[in-house]
Structure 1
Amino acid sequence: MATYSSNDFRPGLKIMFEGEPYAIESSEFVKPGKGQAFARVKMRRLLTGSRVEKTFKSTDSAEGADVVDTNLNYLYNDGEFYHFMHPESFEQFPVEEKTVSDAAKWLQDNAECIVTLWNGRPIAVQPPNFIEAEVVETDPGLKGDTAGTGGKPAKLSTGAVVKVPLFVQEGEVVKVDTRSGEYVSRVK
């Protein structure tokens, strides 16, 4: 893999650090008036999702991580693993529940997800940016009940709970942004 100087660190770059793959989320190059320049980097550990802040000297370098983002279709959950399939080769990838983590509440059958593979092993799952799901449980919106925030919690068919406007009823299909967990619109 390529070697990157700390000057080349950019958000989205995936590097090897302490023997594990990390994704750089932000990088600030600092040139103090006195002393050596350095890069202040915030990065996410791909195996666990934890965030780390690290300072690299301008002379430091890191090897690029051999990770691949692949589009895979979600098939099913057998209780122990979530199963994904490559849409062209039909190769199946069982993914552990801890790897899927928060993405599980947004998974729908045949949803195209971005799965990060490291040495052929799935280490992260990113659901589609937007999903359409049916509201299976919510309080009825009462006429004139607009005091306060103007929203109510609704449970979706995927199991996720999102805040929706008062006019949304059970049985309706809504569009949700999975990155923020926010209601976007009603689907007609």
Structure 2
Amino acid sequence: MSKNYSINMFKPGLKVIIFKEPCIIKSSFFVKPGKGQAFSRLKFKSLLSGKIVETTFKSTDRLEKAEIKDLKAIYLYNNHSFWYFMDNTNFNEIIVSKDLLKNTRFWLIPQCKCVLTIWKKEVISVSVDNFVNLTVIKTSPSIKKNSINNSIKLAILNTGISVKVPYFIKNNDLIKVDTRTSKYVSRIK
């Protein structure tokens, strides 16, 4: 397979090198005007910074294929500076810094499955499931007379993140949280 893609090969999900960094194409719109050269409008997301950018490519432009590898792994533990994962295929330990994880670290609980994205033999991102179940470790008690006016309150979860929850949630409740939006979904019984 070719190491370069022409504009007629651009499609959502394709991983390419744009501006010297790996990106994933979010959308591609091919335009062939009546006069002039055909072009393609791309919306892509940088796999390093997470920025979403739109740009136009001429019909003669080519994009280099990004040698990206997604590795299934299990999260093991952390020491507050580094997070440790185990490769599911060969059981090797993979170490990821806190800086790379950013807010993803709040969704990692021991033994959870995740996907490590690797580029040039370095982990560039960690993906978790869209929903996780976490335990409430601290929240203010519900006061019945305020339940009409204050239908939400803050709760601190076992991974250290704070999320808004309904007033009926108590300490030690298990709740489902959407990792994409950091929002409460439901209580797990």
**CA distance in 1: counterparts of 2:188 and 2:116, whole angstroms:** 27
How big is each residue's C-alpha offset from its partner over 1:154-188, in whole Å with a ceiling of 9 and x where there is no partner?
11101121121111111101011111212121111
Letter in 2 for 1:38: F
1:133 deviation in Å? Answer: 0.7
- Equivalences, count: 188
Aligned to 2:10: 9
Letter in 1 for 2:164: K
Q: TM-score, normalised by structure 1?
A: 0.90
**CA distance in 2: counterparts of 1:44 and 1:61, whole angstroms:** 18
Aligned to 1:58: 59
Aligned to 1:28: 29
Determine helix, strand or coil for the equivalent of 1:103.
Answer: helix
Which moves more between the two structures, 100-109 or 33-42?
33-42
1:107-146 to structure 2, matched below 5 A, reads 107-146=108-147
Instruction: Report whether the alignment pairs 1:101 with 2:102.
Output: yes
Aligned to 1:159: 160
1:3 deviation in Å? Answer: 2.3
Q: TM-score, normalised by structure 2?
A: 0.89
Letter in 1 for 2:19: E
How big is each residue's C-alpha offset from its partner over 1:114-161, in whole Å with a ceiling of 9 and x where there is no partner?
110112211111122211111111122222434457222211101121
Q: After the TM superposition, which segments of 4 or more aligned residues of structure 1 sit over 6 Å from their partners? A: none
% same residue: 43
**CA distance in 2: counterparts of 1:61 and 1:3, whole angstroms:** 6
How big is each residue's C-alpha offset from its partner over 1:65-118, in whole Å with a ceiling of 9 and x where there is no partner?
110111111112223321111123111111122221120111111111111011
**CA distance in 2: counterparts of 1:151 and 1:8, whole angstroms:** 48
Query: CA 1:149/1:69 → structure 2, altered by over 3 Å: closer, same or farther?
Result: farther
Aligned to 1:37: 38
Aligned to 2:91: 90
1:49 deviation in Å? Answer: 2.2
Which moves more between the two structures, 97-106 or 36-45?
36-45
**CA distance in 2: counterparts of 1:22 and 1:100, whole angstroms:** 18
**CA distance in 2: counterparts of 1:174 and 1:183, whole angstroms:** 7
**CA distance in 2: counterparts of 1:80 and 1:106, whole angstroms:** 16
**CA distance in 2: counterparts of 1:93 and 1:99, whole angstroms:** 13
CA contact (8 A) 2:150 2:167 kept: no
**CA distance in 1: counterparts of 2:147 and 2:6, whole angstroms:** 55
State the Cα RMSD in Å.
1.9
Which ranges of structure 1 fall in alignment gaps of 5 or more residues? none
Which ranges of structure 2 fall in alignment gaps of 5 or more residues? none
Determine helix, strand or coil for the equivalent of 2:144.
Answer: coil
Letter in 1 for 2:104: A
Query: CA 1:120/1:185 → structure 2, altered by over 3 Å: closer, same or farther?
Result: same
Determine helix, strand or coil for the equivalent of 1:102.
Answer: helix
